[in-house]
Structure 1
């Protein structure tokens, strides 16, 4: 068992003083549960050194899959300690570890649907919606879960302004107004403008603009009137 704990310590890239305290696996459910905490210091001959007990707070996160096994981490955090920036930890009120959150965010940027993400990663849809809602309302900043920007190659379409064209931000921020005849676009733009008022994280703003651009690309025949104005606006922004 100690060898298994050491293997998982290395897989999770735990640094001292964090240790794998206990683990359990369920072959029927294809699930690993791993308990992480600060192991009590030991004296000579392996005896635990007794001292005043430090109160801890307990948190659980779904971590990246191990093959086709789901991994759940349970962390005992000593009061006063921090888990900021650790890939195997997560936001205290979020369901996913930082490493899994980065994986999900990369899939969102690649235009993978929420249902497909649930199928690929074996995630409960309710937890994914909770994560997505935190992104959309500015509750969660990608800078907290992804130290490096997540980039996805974009297909080019000469009829659609490129993602780095300032016309998208101008339209969403209300600096550019166009005549919109399609109700779906009116509703989407209204929702985006409300969301952008709350979102300050550059990566999430980029994701929202990317989704907006893709909407135009997928519906460009229906949005020819709006696209013509957008191209005119791109020349003047």
Structure 2
């Protein structure tokens, strides 16, 4: 891509000051575009002898596909720079940006398989599988009772959870997928027996996972 494409890429990614798109590279052979982003240091004065602070770290993530091109973001950090919590950044370790993670989660909750995600997002199946596995190992940080105080199967908590009357901040992918599936089915069917069976399934999930 040309230098003139930098402002366009900054707009597409949502890169705002003080951060700036410094370079955009593409590989036609792999249909990949790599966007380099930094926070430019202040320009030294005309008579200043202060040296420009060099980039100390380079962080890289996969991002959402742009116009059919696989997109990678590389952020350079200087001493004192704090990584912004934006859609085009991720964790300190290599992986996926927050924007791509949200898209993957939305597609999984909609019923997409790992194989379908790999084709749709142009990402290696093995990388997606490892990401999904890490999500599935996430801890549930909700305010549910401690495992020793898990409500009984007949508790009104489980039907309330099924019908969405109890709000949970769920990080475990397995539970998010199960909740989405059961809540969707409960909303489509008003059968009391089906609701009771779904509530029992939720209880069994927590019972198996309480350790």
**Contact 1:94-1:131 within 8 A present in 2 as well:** no
TM-score (norm 1): 0.59
Q: Cα deviation per residue 1:113-158 (whole Å; 9 max; x = unaligned)? A: 11111111111112112221221222799xxxxxxxxxxxxxxxxx
TM-score (norm 2): 0.66
Partners of 1:128 and 1:59 lie apart in 2 by: 19
Change (3 A) 1:116 1:173: farther
* Partner in structure 1 of residue 175 of structure 2: 208
More off after superposition, 203-212 vs 21-30 = 203-212
* Structure 1: gaps (5+ residues): 142-168, 179-200, 219-226
Describe how 1:99-110 pairs up with structure 2 within 5 A. 99-110=99-110
**Contact 1:58-1:76 within 8 A present in 2 as well:** yes
Matched residue SS, 1:2: coil
* Partner in structure 2 of residue 181 of structure 1: none
* Partner in structure 1 of residue 5 of structure 2: 4
Q: CA deviation at 1:89?
A: 0.4
Q: CA deviation at 1:33?
A: 1.1
How many residues were matched structurally?
A: 175
* Partner in structure 1 of residue 38 of structure 2: 37
Is it true that 1:77 corresponds to 2:77 in the alignment?
Answer: yes
* Partner in structure 2 of residue 166 of structure 1: none
Matched residue SS, 2:36: strand
Matched residue SS, 2:17: coil
Matched residue SS, 2:37: strand
Q: Cα deviation per residue 1:77-121 (whole Å; 9 max; x = unaligned)? A: 223322242110001224111111110010011111111111111
Q: Pairwise CA RMSD of aligned residues?
A: 3.9
Partners of 1:107 and 1:69 lie apart in 2 by: 19
Describe how 1:1-237 pairs up with structure 2 within 5 A. 1-42=2-43, 51-138=51-138, 175=150, 202-205=169-172, 208-211=175-178, 214=181, 230=197
